Amino acid sequence: MYELYYWPTIQGRGEFVRLLLEDVGADYVDVIRRPKEDGGGGDALRILINTTRHFAPPILRDANITISQTPIIMDYLGTKHQLTPANEDARREALRLSMLLADFLVEAHDVHHPLAKELYYEDQLDEALRRSLSFRDVRIPKFYSHLEEMISANGGYLVEGGLSHADFSLFQIVEGMRYAFPKSSARLESDRPRLVALHAEIAARPNIQAYIISDRRIPFNKNGIFRYYPELDG
């Protein structure tokens, strides 16, 4: 049984891991979301970090192995559940794309928090407005075009050889972008059909379908990494 440690009220980076665990039907506990009396809550995270010296969640525990950094967790879980390519070049490609999507996630966060994580959005609103222009006009197109090109080159998936863990990360990025930047997403998806199709294929997988409508899926909200502020979209 796996133990996932991640912030209990947002999708955030933990959601990439949750999606993979759900798809493969893994037996896992979302530890911090459990009641304190069942070993959950923030204390559980503090104890884990103090004993294993990880920097930040998500942290995955598998018996005596603990892993952090989302792409490394995805590579690890994918290897165990046939979603990491066995071929070493393709394995590195899946990891590369997982890291690229993690880089994109940082930029999607920093749009609404360009100055400091500790400050409120309202205290950096003007700066967020300025950063959103660059994000929408330069950054999203650059990333989306690269993803579309990869999917086109690899027969409908990000990496040669078929479905991999990176495709689940792509699904989550598209989900988050549709929530936080609906207008930009509609515009940019219109001429990137393969990206849209791959998102739809992941969404249609039975375990993903069941998960999305379950109460295990935390709704997007204004504490997460993807946040919907209409003034930043366009």
Chain residues 111-130 in contact with a second copy, contact rule CB under 8 A? 114-119, 124, 127, 130
Closest separation between CB of residue 133 and a second copy, Å? 8
Chain residues 32-71 in contact with a second copy, contact rule CB under 8 A? 53, 55, 65, 67-69, 71
Residue at 196: amino acid letter = V
Chain residues 170-209 in contact with a second copy, contact rule CB under 8 A? none
Name 60's bridge partners. Answer: 4, 67
Closest separation between CB of residue 202 and a second copy, Å? 21
Ordered DSSP codes for 96-159: HHHHHHHHHHHHHHHHH-SS-TTS-GGGGHHHHHHHHHHIIIIIHHHHHHHHHHHHHHTTTSSS
Of 9, 82, 134, 209, which one interacts with a second copy (CB under 8 A)?
Answer: 134
Contact status: 92 vs a second copy (CB under 8 A):
yes
Ordered DSSP codes for 46-98: HHHHHHH--SSS-EEEETTEEEESHHHHHHHHHHHTT-S-SSHHHHHHHHHHH
Closest separation between CB of residue 69 and a second copy, Å? 5
Residues that bind a second copy (CB under 8 A): 53, 55, 65, 67-69, 71-72, 76, 89, 92, 95-96, 99-100, 103, 106, 110, 114-119, 124, 127, 130-131, 133-134, 138, 146, 149-150, 153
